[in-house]
Chain A
Amino acid sequence: MTLEAIPLSELQTPLRKTALNATHRAAKAKMVDFGGWDMPVEYSGLIAEHMAVRSAVGLFDVSHMGDIQLRGPNTLAAVQQLCMNDASKLEVGQAQYSAMLYPNGTFVDDVVVHKLSSNDYLIVINAGTREKDVKWVRQVIGRMSGAHVSDYSDYYTQLAIQGPRALETLQKLTPVDLSAIKNYWFTWGQVCGLHNVMIARTGYTGEDGFEIYIPSDVATSERVWNEVLAAGAEFGILPCGLGARYTLRLESGMALYGHEISDTINVLEAGLGRYAKLDKPEFVGREALLEVQTTGGPKRKLVGLEMIERGIGRDGYPVFTLDGEKIGEITSGSPAPFLKKNIAMAYVPVEHSELNTELAVEIRGQKVKARVIPLPFYKKPKKST
């Protein structure tokens, strides 16, 4: 048999390492090249890690994510020009999902914008697109005075503590009242004895959880990593790799750069129009999106698929109508460990995107039936307490 990893990224750069690389290797995690980063794909096993996050808590090293800080009196105007969501709605301590677009309305990257203070914003970007993003930001706002761009990507170790027991786990390590932080808000406080740690109630798993930003030196990174694992031990915490991160976000119907979003897909096709505030006077990509909207909307649409015959649709597999016409391609596909079925996301022409439409996925030469089902595939249960 041949062993092939999922092609998680197409980018070719020398392998980079987070501060926790030695920790991952010592724990015998399986490592993979992800967007030029030597990252753990799984520790104890993808399914166990996935289930730990759905039912208890998991810990991820997401230090490969990039961090761009914008500062100066003109920063809000710069962020507004750069990102499609409306940053003027943010209060200090609040974050929002957004994206940077090309003039044609396709994606430079999807991002999370954090308002640190009135003239200070942090934009968290994807790992594989870091250099491109930083260049783009400098290009777009380069000539604006009063908005200074800093790439702080290497300054932080970013840890994601995710799952229904994430709050209890992290609460043992900080005096900050974590329950007071609302979803997509953040604050600063002491964590593991470190001062002024940014603690955000954000994540990429479809569960409650937190992301913390600590100094990226190896000793501090390892100490905090181990303290989080110790704090979560009573809940069954597992260190998790990018494999579980992929399946968790897929179940939750969240886009991944290079899959559902790229420089060939526009925001409206991706179903992310609600984050593109076309009533803002100006942002890069706005004209193109308005044009799409006033000429009948997008021609293709991102749909959720459930395999209804035996087979697993995976990234890149072609999608057909039952009559045999090729209409699209799977962008992400995998067995869903929690839902226990085989799911995928794919772009198909709008006329084939109706719920319950039956389509066929070609799996190594064989057509296997699938059905269009609603996104997201998984929604976390409402809190019972």
Chain B
Amino acid sequence: MAYPANYRYTKEHEWIEVDGASGTVGITDYAQSSLGDIVFVDLPKVGDKVEAGKTFGSVESVKAVSDLYAPVSGTVTAVNEELANAPEKINTDANSTWMLKLDLTGGGQADGLLSAEEYEKFISEETGH
């Protein structure tokens, strides 16, 4: 599994790529692998506000449903519409299959999040027991 060094990660297995005042959010390869075949993604609408640490939607595989948590606060500027018909793209490539784009103006700082290295350490501890 590869975790891009320019992303930041949550302990709930979301990634965010921050570019100036905009952020792109998805779930990690570890998350998609743990969930298995993803069949359904429930996402907010453009214009909705998301709050750091709070749920913004859900993702479902055949066997499980999981909440999605916002890595930072911000306003939704785009939703990946493709996922409504092809949610399995997350299984194929979790790193480049984004869910939301956020406007972080006046909101989000990605500072408290994990680096790629810290995230990999976190999941190896989580799966190590």
* A contact residues vs B (CB 8 Å cutoff): 1-6, 30, 41-42, 45-47, 243, 246-247, 310-312, 314, 334-335, 337, 364
Contact = CB atoms under 8 A, between A and B. Distances in A.
B51 interface: no
Given A42-B63, A364-B58, 16 more contacts: A1-B31, A1-B66, A3-B13, A4-B64, A45-B36, A45-B37, A46-B61, A46-B62, A47-B37, A47-B62, A243-B36, A243-B63, A246-B63, A311-B40, A334-B63, A335-B60
Is chain B's interface secondary structure helix, strand, loop, or mixed overall?
strand
B35 interface: yes
A311 B65 CA distance: 11
Contacts, number: 64
Nearest to B31: A1
Nearest to A244: B62
B68 to A, nearest CB: 5
Interface in B12-45: 12-14, 27, 31, 34-37, 39-40
A41 B63 contact: yes
- Closest 9 A-B residue pairs measured CB to CB? A1-B66, A47-B37, A46-B62, A335-B39, A1-B68, A3-B34, A243-B63, A1-B12, A335-B62
Contacts of B113: none
Interface of B: 12-14, 27, 31, 34-37, 39-40, 58-69, 91
Contacts of A2: 12, 66-67
A47 B38 CA distance: 10
Given A312-B40, A364-B58, A1 B67 contact: yes
B37 A1 contact: no
Nearest to B57: A1
The residue among A41, A46, A310 with the most chain B CB atoms within 10 A of its own CB is A46
Name which of B59, B61, B63 has the most chain A CB atoms within 10 A of its CB. B63
6 contacts: A2-B67, A3-B64, A30-B34, A47-B37, A243-B62, A335-B40
Contacts of A3: 13, 31, 34-35, 64, 66
Given A1-B12, A3-B13, A46 B36 contact: yes
B99 to A, nearest CB: 11
Contacts of B62: 46-47, 243, 247, 334-335, 337
